[in-house]
Structure 1
């Protein structure tokens, strides 16, 4: 059996941050990653490979999940190999951070005390965090510097305070459509903000600046500009000589006695060989639903209901990001403020966010927690764009008529899109468990996700969507629509190992250390009791750096 100071399961944002800190502190770390290592030169913009096939995720016939949804009043379980609905997010070294769009926002201080600030909501398991924004702020700043965040700070009522005056890099280049966007917002009394991005606008160390391919989300970055775990954290960690990166390594379960985890049972996915690896400390960083699954699958006579589950809370209060999206078309003949040629310039970002509706307090609409909005161009995927609007009166268009419509769509208009992020309220019918009736190709029970939202989520999303549509109307957009849905985004998953001060109601303590097993930590988004109204990635990075500091302190006492 090999022996390390720390074994980390997963190489994404949280695993990378922990490895970075521990290796810099001189500790010997093994990182177990099911996927393979992809070099920069291998990343392409192949829509078929990345968006329609399984080039960076497992085949659903080998590894899958079971999703439970309520249909006609009954809970129905469907394996994802039947539905095609994939909850895998970039199973490669660096994880899904390789494939993110990199739109970064800090959580607001009020997000850490959602229950105290806004009060309880019937049917929602809302609690305050055991830490505050002040506890996390230094680590948001650290992530900014280490990962590399570009932007420009502008004081705003719902922009959190910061200990540094601005971002470490200036904003990425912007399309001239921002002139039209900003003017339209100001006309409506809305404050547009420049979106911070985990994308370098200038070269930094071994990483080159953005080359503006316009294919960020769902694709790896060939220049290293994107602030993925792979680029920003794992390369520096490997350079210390303290990190052993074990790719193509599947973790079946953890072995433990009553007091501690002793080893991980692993399989080399290329050879099928099974072995064990030991360490003083084990860190779960496999994404929320998979970390909970692994802890369930590690049950034994000492922990009959799964590791770190004396509270019975393991897997419960799984959360996603509520909200939805919308879109409108800017047409050549009706465009104002800027030239059509400037609008059609490829590559540059829209880079605009709105936080004005983070908190709603209107006597006619009521008082409630709102959300944030990101504006961007429609994703550049060619096949997806060509497939839209190819029907007329319910019938598919073919031949010359289809060709003319596609050409017009690509040359005479450009779509601008918005994405809404608001809280997915934790509730009793949203959780992850395992079921021995469903097993992956390695013989282990797969994650079984029951998915249900709280009605309040849709109320908030629909309120904000109407505001966003008003912005697009002011811009002169046509064919405007929005969609607020109870269907969760598969790439934004948190909860399942909630942290808190009371071992009876939480899985982890405030340092994301197991209440039950002191040498077990969970560093990914599992710890989050509530998700805030922004994408999770920056908070995952920041919290993982915070957890890593505590692990260093823990190791110093061993």
Structure 2
């Protein structure tokens, strides 16, 4: 069967394309490597999530990671956003911040540092699509509360999620330091929206699937509506391993391996790769032919280059009896839901680059395994019997911990990139993605400074102890940049509309296109860009694409 469009991957990049193209009457096929899960699969099973509900088994489907310190690759899940219908949006924390306007012009603003490039479009050009994405997936937030974000054309579609009373104390303490704490924008329904219910306020949120359907995942908010048009088919549990091209400069479809191990060829007038940055680069590199001996779009050798994850700094403050804010224990509300963007730019002298990030505050979940780890980590050794029972009881009923997560830029370097591993194969016998990882020293310098600022605020709140658990670390699942978009075919893989240079109908529409990582999670930006590209595709292919 021939389709108007085949979309490979169903997360934040593929979902908007599927919705918009099928809504315009195009015949769309969405191919997803992982299974189709749903609310009935999303019980609050901490052990199932720990065992890899959303990511492949590294024994049979790993990424191979090498650093300057390693001589042989390590099988890891680094870079695996998810493998299921809906992709990483199925278990995301749903913190949907917009990027700052400067994030689109890093080279112009900060100079020609190694790996820096300006985006081929501006914040102002993406702003209408930021607004569209917020309304399509449903974001709860308060427009105007964050004085540091770029111009907004309208309010959020829903008010902020209700928050624990301590959020007001944090706001007051921030104000006393001249800072602004604002409600964290989240793709979680604060009221019924889009035919989906409001949040049930459980403690098993970020990292878990949503059993109520209140999270605006690609599957719940976008793909379900795409299927309802009658023009979109979703096929899970299939592994796309080759992109097909004709004798000229066009893609003609792809080949996937079905659950029985058979190769199936699909033809389409439009091919969109949305597998996430590591796997999208891998698919292009796997798609070799006589005309494209180094892989599709890789004539300049840049597929896989400029890979970025996200730099992250984390820590927590522990509150004990006698120093607890009045309502910290009494109110069981699971969301603190406050962020601070005052430090998006660092003061002079902190680092060679004065780029900071966003501080986000939340409660440490009191789920059993997380609580046990926290207790054991604090004790520094084995604890068992009545002593363990008492400490676990105290951790749940007499103590509370607030954590902070600082999102800050992962700077592109020449030695962080994706290639095909020469030795390690996946369960289909295909070369796995090899991730070469080299960390810029700015990550730790900025992370330490930003983490100290977050810790000061928890100290103001009355924390008995503040600890940093990770400084300038590498996020395993926020990934971008492997197929950089730009105006010059010699220095980029994609054009301004995310079309592969030199291939007329092949697009890469996920985080791969991003020249820089920004100081916040990229999910909303990926969604917004996908809606932007969808408009371009409808203009270009909307009439008789399959003809």
Tell me, what secondary structure is at the counterpart of 2:540? helix
2-side partners of 1:235 and 1:391: how far apart?
A: 42
- 2:110 is aligned, of 110, 114, 118, to 118
Which residue number corresponds to residue 52 of structure 2? 54
Which residue number corresponds to residue 131 of structure 1? 121
2-side partners of 1:392 and 1:286: how far apart?
A: 39
2-side partners of 1:485 and 1:448: how far apart?
A: 25
1:89 paired to 2:81: yes
Closer, same or farther in 2 for the Cα pair 1:171/1:440, shift >3 Å?
same
1-side partners of 2:302 and 2:512: how far apart?
A: 12
Which residue number corresponds to residue 160 of structure 1? 150
Which residue number corresponds to residue 406 of structure 1? 392
Kindly state the Cα deviation for residue 120 of structure 1 after the two structures are TM-superposed: 3.0
1:473 paired to 2:459: yes
Over the aligned positions, Cα root-mean-square deviation in angstroms equals 1.7
Q: After the TM superposition, which of the residue ranges 227-236 and 433-442 deviates more from structure 2?
A: 433-442
Q: What is the TM-score when the length of structure 2 is the normalising length?
A: 0.96
Closer, same or farther in 2 for the Cα pair 1:330/1:180, shift >3 Å?
farther
- 1:65 is aligned, of 59, 63, 74, to 63
Closer, same or farther in 2 for the Cα pair 1:363/1:59, shift >3 Å?
closer
Structure 1, unaligned stretches of length 5 or more? none
CA displacement, residues 249-294 of structure 1 (integer Å, 9 cap, x when unaligned): 111111213411122111112x222210010110000010000000
Kindly state the Cα deviation for residue 210 of structure 1 after the two structures are TM-superposed: 0.5
The number of residues matched between the two structures is 543
1-side partners of 2:66 and 2:516: how far apart?
A: 21
2-side partners of 1:182 and 1:196: how far apart?
A: 16
- 1:263 is aligned, of 217, 235, 253, to 253
Kindly state the Cα deviation for residue 385 of structure 1 after the two structures are TM-superposed: 1.5
Which residue number corresponds to residue 508 of structure 1? 494
1:535 paired to 2:521: yes
Tell me, what secondary structure is at the counterpart of 2:216? coil
Q: After the TM superposition, which of the residue ranges 13-22 and 374-383 deviates more from structure 2?
A: 374-383
2-side partners of 1:6 and 1:340: how far apart?
A: 52
CA contact (8 A) 1:310 1:516 kept: no
Kindly state the Cα deviation for residue 77 of structure 1 after the two structures are TM-superposed: 3.1
- 2:277 is aligned, of 262, 284, 288, to 288
Which residue number corresponds to residue 240 of structure 1? 229
Kindly state the Cα deviation for residue 47 of structure 1 after the two structures are TM-superposed: 0.5
Closer, same or farther in 2 for the Cα pair 1:380/1:539, shift >3 Å?
farther
Which residue number corresponds to residue 175 of structure 2? 186
1-side partners of 2:391 and 2:67: how far apart?
A: 38
Q: What is the TM-score when the length of structure 1 is the normalising length?
A: 0.94
Closer, same or farther in 2 for the Cα pair 1:42/1:463, shift >3 Å?
same
Closer, same or farther in 2 for the Cα pair 1:478/1:514, shift >3 Å?
same
Which residue number corresponds to residue 96 of structure 2? 104
Kindly state the Cα deviation for residue 380 of structure 1 after the two structures are TM-superposed: 3.7
CA contact (8 A) 2:350 2:445 kept: no
CA contact (8 A) 1:391 1:397 kept: no
2-side partners of 1:178 and 1:37: how far apart?
A: 37
Kindly state the Cα deviation for residue 157 of structure 1 after the two structures are TM-superposed: 4.2
Tell me, what secondary structure is at the counterpart of 1:376? strand
Which residue number corresponds to residue 201 of structure 2? 212
Structure 2, unaligned stretches of length 5 or more? none
- 2:338 is aligned, of 335, 352, 358, to 352
Structure 1: 4+ residue segments shifted above 4 A: 362-367, 391-394
Kindly state the Cα deviation for residue 61 of structure 1 after the two structures are TM-superposed: 2.0
Tell me, what secondary structure is at the counterpart of 2:314? strand
Which residue number corresponds to residue 220 of structure 2? 231
2-side partners of 1:396 and 1:161: how far apart?
A: 53
